[in-house]
Structure 1
Amino acid sequence: MSVRLKVCGMARPDNLRAVAALRPDFLGFIFYPKSRRYAAPTLTPAAAAAVPASVQKVGVFVDEDTAVIQERIAEYDLQAVQLHGSETPETCGLLRATGVAVIKAFAVREVFDFERLRPYVGVVDYFLFDTAGAQPGGNGTAFDWKLLQNYALPVPYFLAGGLAPEHAETLRNLRLPGLFALDLNSQFETEPGLKDAGRLDTFFKELRTQ
């Protein structure tokens, strides 16, 4: 399985240590106060600092002021930012120029116009495709992945939206142009912000089985 793995919505120090020990490629911390997985009240910078260096730390933001994002980058030693709002290509480029990787998220419905992504080519490192829903992310439902079969842009992407344990075999054999990483969140939780490390461990092993 060459596709990378990201676990998003980490919010508690003990749970963070357990999931980090599984060695995902990315761990996501949500810095959006309206999210049920808002990390800042419970996850300290010291807890984040204990994450192994091989695991990249991603801060998730929704239409946040760039100065605040930069504060979080420094505070939590983030290697990437994931933007889930209406952030412009100019904002993405400014953040990327600071040295972090930029992931720009887009909500997908029954149809999706990939031409709207072209202004972001060259100013982001990755796209992220998530299922449209009531919240900017973490809605727990999957969209039709066949929409990505004709993806032709040069920017690799994260696949998100309701990825669950029962999808392991399908995802292991999934061949989509541009697919870079799988983003796991609500379907591996016992409650918002608390991941089931055992279920994640089993899922990782199933995905990495050739």
Structure 2
Amino acid sequence: MRATAKICGLSTPETLDAAIAGGASHVGFVFFAPSPRDLSFRRAAELAARVPAHVAKVGVFVDPDDALLDQAVATARLDAVQLHRVDPARAAAIRGRFGLETWAGVPVKLRADLDAARGFVGAVNRVLYDAKPPPGASLPGGMGLRFDWTLLDGFAHPLPWILSGGLDADSVGGAIARTGATLVDVSSGVEITPGIKDTGLIEGFLKAVASA
């Protein structure tokens, strides 16, 4: 199965259009104030209006309350929600509240960290394996960190899964070949500075995914 890609943390029409033109299957909008990629509801709505039906709009949240979720889902017309720092019970409640495809982030540094994915069975549709941030980090991802992909060797994935963490055009082909990922997620790997995406980097990343 050929891999597809989500371009996450988009914030401008130009970079969003580049992601869509390049063949991204998903685009990500971040709703988390500490992130340099955080969007206002107005900007999210403007961007969402540019996304064709065949591309899924994913809202990215960190331990969100219901008020934030309600407004983001409605204004950005989200197709899926990606949750970080949320336990399985809360994830299941969010999934039940909106009836949307729901993803849960699983931070990985050691092989044992993968076991957390099993707790989300029945609560979410997919898990997203990302590099575990350093202690005290304010962000759950988007820092260009990569975990050891060999940790996935032989792991019996309990749910459909996404590979994230430190990917860029140079590394994503090898990551797909090494892990068998069918959906990859990139944010900082297509940026020139934190939060500022580059259309050329997006194009190059998506070409690398398509040729993997």
> Offset at 1:191?
2.2
| CA distance 1:56–1:127, change in 2 (3 Å) | same
- Greater CA drift, 37-46 or 8-17: 37-46
Residue 37 of structure 2 is aligned to residue 33 of structure 1:
no
1:96 equivalent in structure 2: 95
In structure 2, the gaps of 5 or more residues are none
Q: Distance in 2 between matches of 1:125 and 1:68?
A: 21
- Contact kept, 8 Å, 2:169 with 2:208, in 1: the verdict is no
- Greater CA drift, 200-209 or 98-107: 200-209
- Contact kept, 8 Å, 1:12 with 1:42, in 2: the verdict is no
2:156 equivalent in structure 1: 152
- Contact kept, 8 Å, 1:84 with 1:137, in 2: the verdict is no
- Greater CA drift, 167-176 or 47-56: 167-176
- Contact kept, 8 Å, 1:29 with 1:60, in 2: the verdict is yes
The AA in structure 2 aligned to 1:94 is A
> Offset at 1:13?
2.8
> Offset at 1:148?
0.9
The AA in structure 2 aligned to 1:139 is M
> Offset at 1:60?
0.6
Q: Normalization by structure 1: what TM-score?
A: 0.89
> Offset at 1:48?
1.4
| CA distance 1:180–1:172, change in 2 (3 Å) | closer
- Contact kept, 8 Å, 2:109 with 2:147, in 1: the verdict is yes
Q: Distance in 1 between matches of 2:28 and 2:72?
A: 13
Q: Distance in 2 between matches of 1:113 and 1:15?
A: 33
CA RMSD of aligned residues (A): 1.9
Q: Distance in 2 between matches of 1:203 and 1:34?
A: 26
Greater helix share, structure number: 2
2:191 equivalent in structure 1: 189
Q: Normalization by structure 2: what TM-score?
A: 0.89
Q: What are the residue-to-residue correspondences of 1:97-136 with 2, within 5 Å?
A: 97=96, 98-133=98-133, 134=137, 135-136=139-140
- Contact kept, 8 Å, 2:167 with 2:189, in 1: the verdict is yes
- % identical aligned pairs: 35
Q: Distance in 1 between matches of 2:45 and 2:156?
A: 38
- Contact kept, 8 Å, 1:131 with 1:139, in 2: the verdict is no
